[in-house]
């Protein structure tokens, strides 16, 4: 038995078709491992971004209007940041 004998989401391991994630899971903690083209693939869960091989993180906002209502919130890599001048007003 070889990989082409198995479904696309499986690999041939010890003459059995199995999920490739059971043999080798290259995914970061919290990422989802799945079989595709006879190899283990990774993806971040829905609502998370990042590299599924290095780490996924929760996306707080994608554009300014998604951020909490604070003065001049700026979007950067899924996080919101306040300008330094905001802290001077406090």
pLDDT level of residue 4 (50, 70, 90 thresholds): confident
Q: Looking at the predicted structure, is the pLDDT value of residue 82 above 80?
A: no
Q: Give the domain ranges of the chain.
A: 1-59, 60-90
Output the CA–CA distances (angstroms, integers) from residue 1 to 5, 10, 35, 40, in the order listed: 6, 12, 18, 19
Q: How far apart are the first and last CA of the chain?
A: 69
Q: Helix (H, G, I), strand (E, B), or coil: what is residue 66?
A: helix
pTM of the model: 0.63
Element (H, E) at 26: none
Cβ distance 67 to 79 under 8 Å? no
Q: pLDDT tens-digit profile of 27-75?
A: 999 899 999 999 999 999 998 889 999 999 988 777 777 666 655 545 4
């Amino acid at each position: 038995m070889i990989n082409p004998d198995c479904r696309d989401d499986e690999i041939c391991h010890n003459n059995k078709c199995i999920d490739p994630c059971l043999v080798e899971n290259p995914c970061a903690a919290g990422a989802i491992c799945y079989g595709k083209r006879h190899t283990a693939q990774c993806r971040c869960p829905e609502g998370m971004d990042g590299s599924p091989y290095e780490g996924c993180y929760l996306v707080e906002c994608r554009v300014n209007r998604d951020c909490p209502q604070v003065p001049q919130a700026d979007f950067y890599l899924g996080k919101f940041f306040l300008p330094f001048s905001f802290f001077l007003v406090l």
